[in-house]
Structure 1
Amino acid sequence: MDVSFLGGPKPQRGVGVVAPFDFALDRELWRWVPDHVSLHLTRTPFVPVEVGLDLARLVSEHETLGEAVRALGATGPEVLAYACASGSFVGGLAGERALCAAMRRAGELPAVTTSGALLQALSELGARRVALVTPYTRSVTESLEEYLSEAGITVTGRAFLGLTRHIWKVPYRDVAEMAREAGRSGADALFISCTNLPTYDVIPQLEAELRVPVISANQVTMWAALARLGTRAVGPYQALLDPAARVWPPADVPEALPPEDLPRERSKEQEGWA
């Protein structure tokens, strides 16, 4: 059968993604990506260390990132993304900038990190007061707070799980419960950290409930990387991706009754008074 009329596959544009060795949410990243863009993923080498500050430092070593970026070069990406929150905030603002510089040197391409994308997203949303949800231990969560404080962002509330492994198995229910706990703090936005924590489907629900933008590690990473390509991340009812979704309707109030149904003032005689 002649299929020449199909014309072959459409041209694709590529995002090269470096993720930690234990990253398990490839399918979640793809959900933010439009059809004409492909993700090319590679992982850092395995190290027998539990999730914590030591692991964050190990998976963000410049030599390790450089090797991963050079491996991605064969796929011809147009932008590079380091998809790891803790690995990109553990060194503070200077450490994040150094990671981007190391990736640019190795790949000669624009580069973004999850934590750098977080600050860009907060700026886009005009948020200066942020509530945090993390699966991390206390020490890693505090490192994220220090990173945000260095950037002039105030953390108004936080909730964390204290996990050191298998973060990708956390159900949406637990994420939502933490968000409700942390979100009662008068924040401008809520950030759900860790690229290994599932968030895609829970974001619109939490935004409707908390009435503030809810952003996540994977979401901001894809949003920032795709912006470098001059294209947009896709995702229904997510405030970061759609300015129209940043306007919440008024809080629920009783619907006004028509005049004929309004209660009328009753006289003393009607009330049965003497």
Structure 2
Amino acid sequence: MTLGDLAIPPPLQQVGIGVVTPYDFALDRELWRWVPDDVSLYVTRLRYAPLAVTIDMAVHISDPEQVLAGAANVLAVAPLVTAYACTAGSFVKGMAGEAALVSAMRAAGAPAAVTTSGSVLAALQHLGLSRVATVTPYTTDLTVGLTSYLMEAGVEVVATSGLGLTSNIWAVPYEQTAELVRATDVPDAEAIVISCTNLPTYDLIAKLEAELEKPVVTANQVTMWAALRVAGRKAVGPGQRLLEA
């Protein structure tokens, strides 16, 4: 049998999504798990800086000029939307800072743009929720920064906790994150928000939602959900409430 004898399907018509991440982002494969087969991710990273995961790093990676340059890096492959995939970098300067990052990506030429923190707000609005508990891998100051951002947007934070990490966040095991979620959840919380695009969560979401009987929204999940919506596609995540709402 030769190659000519095989029935080879035509290539899929790909939809492109640009993704700008911090220099230490380690979870490219997790992002792809939310993506349907006819979508390609074009991932680029911000310029490296020797900083731990602190307020100083968050401020550094929230620089609109850096994000503009990152968005420009993927323009040649014509993404329909570009996402800035970083929670802390998009909340550290409040809602005005998040809007500045969207404007920077649009100024670079992106047809549309979303950020992780902006996508958290969009997801909560989509679900009709306004009281949350938050779980982060961060030190206290960054965890407080997330609370401030959410409260500025009119979201009440009724409980919060963090792991206090400044590096290697991608190595946190699922069970450690799950234990922190369980310990932080309170009856007043309508949902759990798990922050940081470097914290693995894909396989936790549906399990925790079934256990806690409330939505669990996570940084990478909302980033892909929002970007794919703009691109006219649905995110892939069996049993995840946000994706089924």
Q: Distance in 1 between matches of 2:164 and 2:139?
A: 4
- Where structure 2 has 5 or more consecutive residues not aligned to the other structure, the ranges are none
Counterpart in 2 of 1:135?
137
2:22 aligns with 20
2:105 aligned residue (84, 103, 127):
103
| Gap regions ≥5 residues in structure 1 | 244-274
Aligned residues: 243
TM-score calculated relative to the size of structure 2? 0.97
Q: Note the 1:79-118 alignment, pairs <5 A.
A: 79-118=81-120
67 and 128 in structure 1: CA distance in 2 versus 1, 3 angstrom threshold: same
Give the Cα separation in 2 of the matches to 1:185 and 1:198: 25
Q: Is the 8 A contact 1:156 1:185 kept in 2?
A: no
What CA deviation, in whole Å up to 9, does each residue of 1:237-267 have, x standing for no partner?
0000013xxxxxxxxxxxxxxxxxxxxxxxx
- Residue deviations 1:87-116 (CA, integer Å, cap 9, x gap): 000010111011101100102410000000
Given that 1:157 and 1:185 are in contact with CA atoms closer than 8 Å, whether structure 2 keeps it comes out as no
Using a 3 Å threshold, how does the CA distance of structure 1 residues 135 and 232 change in structure 2: closer, same or farther?
same
Q: Is the 8 A contact 1:56 1:90 kept in 2?
A: yes
Name the SS of the counterpart of 2:24 in structure 1: coil
Cα-to-partner distance string for 1:146-190 (whole Å, 9 max, x where unaligned): 000001111011121000000000000111011001112420110
Q: Determine which of 125, 128, 138 is the counterpart of 1:126.
A: 128
What's the offset of the Cα at 1:6?
Answer: 2.5
Q: Distance in 2 between matches of 1:12 and 1:79?
A: 13
Give the AA of the match of 1:240: L
SS of residue paired to 2:242? coil
Question: What percent of counterpart residues are identical?
Answer: 54
Contact 2:106 2:113 in 1 (8 A): yes
TM-score (norm 1): 0.87
Structure 1, 134-143 or 5-14: larger mean CA deviation: 5-14
Matched to 1:40, the amino acid is Y
Q: Which stretch of structure 1 is more off in the superposition, 114-123 or 63-72? A: 63-72
Trace 1:55-94 onto structure 2 (pairs within 5 A): 55-94=57-96
Match of residue 151 from structure 1 = 153
For 1:20-59, what aligned pairs fall within 5 Å after superposition?
20-59=22-61
Runs of 4+ in structure 1 over 6 Å off: none
Higher relative contact order (CA 8 A, sep 6+): 2
- Tell me how far 1:7 sits from its aligned partner: 5.1
Q: Give RMSD over aligned pairs.
A: 1.1
Structure showing greater radius of gyration is 1
